[in-house]
Amino acid sequence: MNGDTRASRPVGPVVVMGVSGSGKSTVGVDLATALGVPFVDGDALHPAANIAKMAAGIPLDDADRAPWLTAVGEALADGAAAHGGIVIACSALRRAYRDRLRALAPGLVFVHLTGSRELLAARLAGRSHEFMPSTLLDSQLATLEPLERDEASIALDVGERVDDLVASAARGLRGVRAASPSAAAAAAALPAATPAATRP
């Protein structure tokens, strides 16, 4: 996106979602840069107890996730209010989790990164994550609930190049905002995003 587009059009809150290995942080960082808004890695918002469980290969339950989802939702709302938009990487696997985020951050749009289990496993095998061992992939895939029609969202195949994914996400966000009255209204109430917002 060009600088004029970033400066004149609010972005609103955006979650780059998907299972481990889908490239949420990589795509999220580049998308935030393209849009001129801050990026936050949702993993950094986990309580210490959650991090310890995941590092031990123990899947989180809904009670574990509750305070984390609240922290992510509040960060989305705060970032959108302060900067006109924000991008957060967050797995957001279940409908109930996404509903919690949407309740806290009106106008939220999800960018869902999808891929085959084989591709995701191969990507995980080539990296080391601080507290998300590759053994949790199957648990996450089993937990994932498909996005529904009433959830403002964009689905992208992670087999594409990162630059292409970012360009598709940026175009898709414009389309989703135009097609969703609630998302458009929420974004219109925000200040315009600017390149300077990437350096809060």
Taking only the tens of pLDDT, the chain with its 200 residues reads 344 334 346 789 999 999 988 999 999 999 999 999 999 999 999 999 999 998 887 888 999 999 999 999 999 999 999 999 999 999 999 999 999 999 999 999 999 999 999 999 888 887 665 555 556 788 889 999 999 999 999 999 999 999 999 999 999 998 887 776 555 556 555 555 554 333 33
What's residue 50's pLDDT?
93
Check residue 178 and report its DSSP letter.
H
The verdict on domain 3-193 having CATH code 1.10.10.10 is no
Query: Residue ranges per domain, the chain?
Result: 3-193
Q: What's the predicted TM-score (pTM) here?
A: 0.83
Tokens of 122: 């191969």
* Tokens 């989703």 belong to residue: 176
pLDDT score at 5 = 38
The phi and psi torsions of 9 (rounded to 5 degrees) equal -130, 120
Distances (CA, A) of 82 to 9, 35, 61, 86, 127: 14, 15, 32, 9, 34
